[in-house]
Amino acid sequence: MPSESPKAVKPVYKDRVYRSPFGLVGGVLLLGVLGWLGGDAVVSGEGRTPWLALASLLLAVPLVVAFSVRPAVFANDDRLRVRNPFRVIDLPWAAVVSLRSGFSNEVIDEAGAKYQLWAVPVSLRARKKAARRQARQAHAVAKGDSSGRTSLVDASPVRAETDQVMADLRELREARAKATGSQGEPSVRWAWEVMGPAAAGAVLLAVLIALG
């Protein structure tokens, strides 16, 4: 009997991950400072000082992680997943209406809900720098054409890094929006793993302060 052919298996592609390098570096440095100061207060403090230090760390550390280390954007052929400080938004490409760049980068779903991409912050300085480079490039191309020589300058658009990320995400959405694996409804989950410890630290700190 002829052997059965194996079923076709859809290849699994790894997510493209986008983060803010400056956010990561700043967050790690701030966590180091908090650990040093808080640890010293816990070990060397007297009276209620160690408890106040522990409560402050329980409040501060999750918040620092939430706004610096945690934010990330994950994209693959099927969906866009946005991990913001306090929420995780899962958006199949079919549910994404647009990816908009202004003073912040946002994704808009089919219901009109807007979600900011914390991991892809807008840099007006980088945009101005890219615009100046684009102007110089256009001038060099025009100069080459007027002199009759072929310009060796790359004529592709010059964008700021985060604007290029948004352009890549738009291209991926346009290519995959109608694919079978990209259908579905958006889902939003609260990050209780961050909010819970921070809330507990805030309550404990308030109790300690109230008790005097």
Tens digit of pLDDT for each residue in 135-154? 676 666 666 655 555 444 45
State residue 142's pLDDT score. 65
* Mean pLDDT of the residues in the chain: 85
In a domain, 11, yes or no: no
Judged against a pLDDT cut of 90, whether residue 133 lies above it is answered with no
Residue 75's contacts (CB-CB under 8 Å, 6 or more residues apart) are 15, 16, 18, 81, 169, 172
Q: Is residue 71 part of a domain?
A: yes
Statement: residue 13 has pLDDT above 60: no
Alpha carbon separation from 79 to 92, 154, 186 (Å, rounded): 4, 32, 10
Cα 50 from chain centre? 35
Record the pTM: 0.79
In sequence order, the 6+-apart residues with CB closer than 8 A to the CB of 91 are 79, 80, 81, 82, 107, 109, 115, 186
- Identity at 23, one-letter amino acid code: G
Q: Is the pLDDT of residue 91 over 70?
A: yes
Task: Report the number of distinct structural domains present in the chain.
Answer: 1
In a domain, 152, yes or no: no
Is 157 within the bounds of a domain? no
Instruction: Assess if residue 23 is contained within a domain.
Output: yes
Q: Which domain holds residue 28?
A: 16-123+180-211
> Does some domain include residue 149?
no
Q: Is residue 133 domain-resident?
A: no
- Is the separation of the CB atoms in 137 and 154 below 8 Å? yes
